[in-house]
Amino acid sequence: MNLRLFPKKETTASVWNGGLTYEYMIYPETASYSDRDFLFRISSATIEEVPSAFTKFKGYHRYLVMLDNSLPIEINKEKKVYEKYEIIEFNSDDEVTSYTKGIDFNWMVSEKIANPKLTITDRNQNCNAQIILLFSLQTTVIKINEKPYYLEAYDLLAIENQKKENITIHFSNECLYGILESL
């Protein structure tokens, strides 16, 4: 089991057409965002332009969560409003336009990966997935097999579990909880 902490304060900003994006993790590590050869990528972005068209990524599924605001959005000309912390799922090749400013969590997953799952939880979990992603929504303590990890708001804790060992996870506060059963 390989566990890595990605603190928000250590991410660096890149410009996208609607604001700034902060990449936490790209997998595998040898992959490149610009080459679009990654299996998944986790980032957080500021939406500073209204309206703002999202960047398209052919071959990827996207999970988006607004961290500070609701999100009026148009996906393929269908208008919806998502509340703070509500999980939005769409194809990364869709026409997506947002109509508010704010900060989001963004998880792009290759369509080659079957059944990715993302939820918000503070309930204890037993999991043997190959990849486990824990994104803190506020300062929190996450215990992995009884060992505590202290996270500030918007930190990411990633667990690579190649042997698919059973892992016990305890949360002190709500977190985004993502799993990939196999890559």
pLDDT band per the 50, 70, 90 thresholds, residue 145:
very high
Both tokens of 71, joined, read: 């999100």
Q: How many other CB atoms sit within 10 Å of the CB of residue 161? A: 19
Predicted TM-score of the model (pTM): 0.94
Closest by alpha carbon to 89, among 68, 121, 115, 125? 115
Which pLDDT does position 34 carry in this prediction?
86
Spell out the residues 6+ positions from residue 107 whose beta carbon is closer than 8 angstroms to its own: 40, 41, 42, 62, 63, 64, 116, 118, 133, 178
Arithmetic mean of pLDDT, 30-55:
91
pLDDT tens-digit profile of 103-128?
Answer: 999 999 999 999 999 999 999 999 99
pLDDT band per the 50, 70, 90 thresholds, residue 163:
very high
Q: Is 161 in contact with 128 (CB distance < 8 Å)?
A: yes
Mean per-residue pLDDT of the chain: 94
For 126, counting Cβ atoms within 10 Å of its Cβ (0-12 exposed, 13-18 middle, 19+ buried), the class is exposed
- Any idea which residue has 């037993």 for tokens? 126
Report the relative pairing of strands 78-82 and 71-75 from DSSP bridges: antiparallel
Closest by alpha carbon to 98, among 38, 11, 16, 39? 16
Asked whether residue 95 carries a pLDDT value surpassing 90, the answer given is: yes
Name the percent of the chain lying above pLDDT 90. Answer: 86
Q: Is 69 in contact with 63 (CB distance < 8 Å)?
A: no
pLDDT tens-digit profile of 43-61?
Answer: 999 988 899 888 888 999 9
